[in-house]
Chains A and B, each alone.
Chain A
Amino acid sequence: MKKYMACIATVVAVGSVSACGSSNGSSTGSAPATAATTGSKAATGGFTGSTKLPSGKVGVLQVNAQSERIQIWGKTAKDALSKVGWKSEVIDGKGDPAAWAQAMTTFINEKVDGIVTLAIDPAAILPQLKAAKAAGIPVITAGITVAGPGKNLYAANYAPPDGRFGQVLADYLKTKFPAGTEYVDQDLTAVSGAHALITAGDPLMKAAGFKLVGTKDLNPADLVPQTSKAAVDLTAGHPKAKIMLTCCDFAPPIVVPALKQAGRTGVTIAARYDNPSSLALIRQGAPVVIAAADSDQSVLLAIGQLLAKKASGTAIDPKADAGKYTFKMVDKATVPASGFVFDPATQIAAAVKQWQTEYSR
């Protein structure tokens, strides 16, 4: 018995030492001055600004976490809020308007300090947006441009201009394909931000002499099977088409295998966002090109505005993101060997660094 007790005591002691070590990091013991500085920084979390930042909580509502990009934006919000010591609650709306409304109501009842919605058109949550406004809870939508009635109930809509993706893609494709090249569109008119890529890209493509020979408007209720089937049918119906301009970031990982299975590998898929799955396909040599943007900035701007409102009562600036975004075309020649083109972690670090100079905790 004594032997077992001794073992337990030893394990507990070792555990304690190890715990002390991890809390103090590498500065333990050997350099007291450094340890003090580090301890001071740790106490403030590196926040050395003049404005006191109270604690807070933000509700983040994703339109549908099936989307890789929506997941990334949700994680960006969660990570950034955690770095400023704020709580976050990220809810997957599962593409279901009823779930969106329920999540919004939950956030309002919890009296959160702000809500960030990711890609939810306002009409679907109009009563909840009104209720949030009445409760004094600012709601910002980020990531993608929204449209429709009730848009003014959002305190701001931060997003890289969706049409710009279409322009960037069209400008790139003009340099890679001759005039007269036939192409097809995969559109999603039900989502205004997704549709904007096509409405901006098509006129430029046509002006460059490209010929739009087929379009498929996807049904949002059946996205994955439809995207795959539409790609095969469009290319079968228009065998001379060399380009598929797609509204949506989820298309490449669905379309590339579908076309490969159908034996149509000569079609270039032009899509948006530097999603890991799209980048992996480009690295593997699949015919995919993407227009990427530092879209996580939109989420970080939303959080920054909510922090400022809570800390100093600053009104939310609906134009805070004007001219902030950078776009870049990615193809096989320019794809990074690993990671993102616009790394969310880097964008978070830049935002946190700025907040550290503005706020104290």
Chain B
Amino acid sequence: MTTVPQVAGAKRAGTAGSAAGAPAPAGPGAGGSPSRAARGLSLVERSAVVGSFVIMVLLFCLLAGDTFPTSGTVKDILDQCAVPVILVCGLTLVLAVGEFDLSYTATVGLAAGLVIVLTAQHGWSVGPAILVSLLASLAVGVIVGLLVTVGRASSFIVTLAIGSAVTGLELAITGNKTIFQNIPVNYADLSAKTLLGLKSPVWAALLIMGAIAVLLHRTRFGRQAQAIGGNPTAAYLAGVRVRRIRVIAFAIVAVLAGVAAIILTSRASSYYPNSSAGFLLNTYAAAFLGASVGRWRGFTVFGSAFGVLWITTLQTGLTQANAPAWTSSFIQGLVLAIAVLVASRGRQATS
């Protein structure tokens, strides 16, 4: 099986270790008293991503003072974060169990195609169409999970392969065509509803983020998942049902991909073929960026969601400030590289 390189530790100190029955990894202060300089450096490293976010926001406030620090921009950013946050919540679970998933954006495409084809071309009502597309997403996740666990295949390769097959299925179902006619009005309305000034996708993302955060960080399942990510053999020996938890993680990310698909197509009132592929790198970047936030330096739901916020804010600010197109990719890549290095240093310090 392919396991996620422990760039970010992939576990929270204490919880992961205790769940697996393995000794808890030492915290930053373990192994003797670090020097004041080392503690200072550690603090800088821990706050690098959050600090860069604050600096970035201040800069954009200066560069686009009329438009950036407005409630409209904040709402736009939150709205744009909704879908990637939902995806990154699922991805965080998979990364936490030490696996990769390259298929979830293809699952978004399949679910998007299914729900639109069923409603627009076959006259299904919205509820059953959504249910079928979520079930199809679940099926993809379970298949991936079983292939990775029971089939003992590399998750990197399996999800790449299944992703390709699922994209083929999507194109077969939709005829690889943009579908924009006969979309039910109540389907488009799903993502247009507003509560306390925020659109329904933002609320959906917040709810999902909260639920997955509780699941990963406050339940036995979550502790076991992180134990598997930290050391699957130790977790297995400690009685953790490694296969089952990994299958569940893949199933959850797939279902969340289905939810993301519904939001995407509802917002657009249309289906565009293979339009979700662009989310893959951004969500991975967000998860790894988020992994270097705070003192845990592991994959956390809030860290990943913060990573999404970081990237979306950067893109929005640069667009509003009329920065050249290359700047977004350049800065994003640079900060991600620094974040991974920071996390890697942190791991070395704690190991």
Chain A residues with a Cβ under 8 A of chain B: 65-66, 68, 71, 92, 94, 189, 214-219, 221-226, 228-230, 232-234, 236-239, 250, 253-254, 257-258, 261-262, 276-277, 280
- Residues of A with C-beta under 8 A to B80: 229, 232
Q: A66-B274, A215-B322 are in contact. Are A257 and B269 (CB under 8 A)?
A: yes
What string of 1s and 0s marks CB contacts (under 8 Å) between B253-287 and chain A?
Answer: 00000000000000111101111111100100000
- Residues of B with C-beta under 8 A to A230: 319
Nearest residue, chain A, Cβ from B199: A261
Nearest residue, chain A, Cβ from B326: A217
Say yes or no: A277 contacts B178, CB within 8 Å: yes
Extra contacts besides A216-B319, A237-B68, A239-B67 (4): CB < 8 Å? A189-B325, A214-B319, A219-B329, A257-B268
Q: A66-B176, A254-B268 are in contact. Are A222 and B277 (CB under 8 A)?
A: yes
How near does chain A come to B165, taking the closest CB pair, in angstroms?
15
- How far, in whole Å, are A228 and B274 apart by their CA atoms in the complex? 15
Of the candidates B70, B276, B316, which one forms a contact with A233 in the assembled complex, judged by CB atoms under 8 Å apart?
Answer: B316
How near does chain A come to B166, taking the closest CB pair, in angstroms?
15
Say yes or no: B278 contacts A226, CB within 8 Å: yes
Of the candidates B176, B315, B316, which one forms a contact with A71 in the assembled complex, judged by CB atoms under 8 Å apart?
Answer: B176
Say yes or no: B272 contacts A233, CB within 8 Å: no
- Asked if B192 is at the interface (CB within 8 A of a chain A CB), the reply is yes
Chain B interface residue number, banded: 35 or more
Q: A66-B176, A237-B319 are in contact. Are A223 and B67 (CB under 8 A)?
A: no
Q: A224-B275, A226-B278 are in contact. Are A233 and B315 (CB under 8 A)?
A: yes
- How far, in whole Å, are A94 and B79 apart by their CA atoms in the complex? 29
Of the candidates B267, B279, B322, B324, which one forms a contact with A258 in the assembled complex, judged by CB atoms under 8 Å apart?
Answer: B267
- Asked if B73 is at the interface (CB within 8 A of a chain A CB), the reply is yes
- Residues of B with C-beta under 8 A to A92: 176
Say yes or no: A280 contacts B180, CB within 8 Å: yes
- Residues of A with C-beta under 8 A to B73: 236
Chain B residues with a Cβ under 8 A of chain A: 64, 67-68, 70, 72-73, 76, 79-80, 176-178, 180-181, 188, 191-192, 199, 267-270, 272-279, 282, 315-316, 319-322, 324-325, 329
Say yes or no: B270 contacts A257, CB within 8 Å: yes
Say yes or no: B319 contacts A225, CB within 8 Å: no
Q: A233-B319, A234-B319 are in contact. Are A217 and B270 (CB under 8 A)?
A: no
Across the A-B interface, the 6 shortest Cβ-Cβ residue pairs: A222-B278, A237-B320, A224-B275, A217-B325, A233-B319, A66-B273
Q: A222-B278, A261-B267 are in contact. Are A233 and B178 (CB under 8 A)?
A: no
- Residues of A with C-beta under 8 A to B272: 66, 224, 250, 253-254
18 sample A-B contacts, Cβ–Cβ < 8 Å, listed by A number: A66-B275, A68-B178, A214-B322, A219-B329, A222-B282, A224-B276, A225-B275, A229-B319, A236-B70, A237-B64, A237-B67, A237-B68, A250-B272, A261-B267, A262-B76, A276-B180, A277-B178, A277-B270
Q: A217-B325, A254-B272 are in contact. Are A225 and B180 (CB under 8 A)?
A: no
- How far, in whole Å, are A30 and B176 apart by their CA atoms in the complex? 46
- How far, in whole Å, are A232 and B75 apart by their CA atoms in the complex? 11
Say yes or no: B279 contacts A261, CB within 8 Å: no
- Residues of B with C-beta under 8 A to A218: 325
Say yes or no: B79 contacts A262, CB within 8 Å: yes
Nearest residue, chain A, Cβ from B278: A222
